[in-house]
Homo-oligomer: A and B are copies of this chain.
């Protein structure tokens, strides 16, 4: 618990304490009060800067000199580049060639060096390993690193600081860093606050992992939520198993509708991965209305990095 507060203190100069927004029409739709923690307004457009900053700040001076390396489909890439530049550390970023243009541009603008690779987890890791060997840079996994997980959890920490009596927090599930960090934060700082994950049916590895008790992979990656194609790791899965109440799966249609609802009603840009959490809340509130009636619900809007050239509506 003190670890968490120390982590928050450490990264605070480098991040925004993002606003918490509400929407009358969405509250009316769900019959509850929903508090959106707007990490789309975070630096580099997503919560990822929190974990990236924490992980870099925990390196030794000698380690910092050699820089950091990661692989990421987008948001962590931008976040690590910006965090590294803020702290004065070189950043080597392995990105699949298929990553959205807007995310590649972001990495370059923040001073990261991009290394292209094929869009498979194996190719990403091999390229990152090669860079580690050549440069001596420290590899920082986007979601399966304890310092990253704790950093990501500070979004839920701030949300609970503002709304102590949330009965549940929704978070999207991709690599598992955000939901694991959120679950730890809810455990330490919530008042019996549950954590529920939202995941596309198309990449429901976390749902299946919780069912089977071991980390499962994905067979397809056919989802609009490009940030959620990755799978859980051995550092975050035990936390998820212990502290996450359940995973709610949603269709691609539900993701697009939820994204549209938030854009139209709240006038904020959220990315498809964030819309997954909104869609999960909408679905679960429909299936289990008594769990939500007149409750206070938190929701981590994970990011707002959208390729405007390729919108789904």
Contacts and interface: CB of A to CB of B under 8 A. Distances in A.
Interface of A: 19, 40-41, 45, 102, 260, 263-264, 266-270, 304, 308-309, 311, 313
Given A102-B264, A263-B269, A308-B311, 16 more contacts: A19-B19, A40-B267, A41-B266, A41-B267, A45-B267, A263-B308, A264-B308, A267-B268, A267-B269, A267-B270, A267-B304, A268-B268, A268-B269, A269-B269, A308-B313, A309-B313
A45 B266 CA distance: 9
A263 B307 CA distance: 11
Nearest to A313: B308
Contacts of A41: 266-267
A308 B45 CA distance: 21
Contacts of A269: 263, 267-269
A66 to B, nearest CB: 29
Contacts of A311: 308, 311
Contacts of A40: 267
A152 to B, nearest CB: 19
Contacts of A263: 269, 308
A167 to B, nearest CB: 26
A263 B19 CA distance: 17
> Which of A263, A266, A267 has most B Cβ within 10 Å?
A267
A40 B267 CA distance: 7
A102 B266 CA distance: 14
Nearest to A23: B41
Nearest to A21: B41
